[in-house]
Amino acid sequence: MSDSVPQQLVEEVTSIVKSVGKIPVLEPDQDYYDAGLASVASLTLLLDLEEKFGISLSDDDFVECRTTRALAELVGGLKA
């Protein structure tokens, strides 16, 4: 993934993932499933991201992202 993602966007996405997954500590390049995000929380995460940023995420693209930095890059590309 690229380093061109704005840090603020990475932080916003990280905050949403932490909130949805009830994960107290999560680094942007850490696999959020390994950090404790339950797969059943994925739908809530997807919907929260779509609502927050006014975008539509494809399931295929969403499941390929396993870090908040990757999600932020995906979100940023759709917002542009």
Where do we find the tokens 């909130």? 19
Q: Which residue has the higher pLDDT, 51 or 3?
A: 51
Q: Quick check: is 1 in a domain?
A: no
Written as six digits, the tokens of 39 are: 């797969």
Q: Quick check: is 68 in a domain?
A: yes
Distance from the first to the final alpha carbon of the chain = 17
Q: Quick check: is 2 in a domain?
A: no
What's the mean pLDDT in 4-19? 96
Written as six digits, the tokens of 60 are: 């295929």
**Contact between 25 and 34 (Cβ < 8 Å):** no
CATH number, residue 59? 1.10.1200.10
Q: Quick check: is 53 in a domain?
A: yes
Q: Quick check: is 50 in a domain?
A: yes
pLDDT band at 4 (very low <50, low <70, confident <90, very high): confident
Residue 19: which domain range? 7-79
Q: Quick check: is 48 in a domain?
A: yes
Written as six digits, the tokens of 5 are: 């993602």
> Nearest to residue 30, comparing CAs of 76, 71, 79, 80?
71
Predicted confidence at residue 3, as pLDDT, reads: 61
Q: Quick check: is 41 in a domain?
A: yes
Give pLDDT tens digits for 27-78: 999 999 999 999 999 999 999 999 999 999 999 999 999 999 999 999 999 9
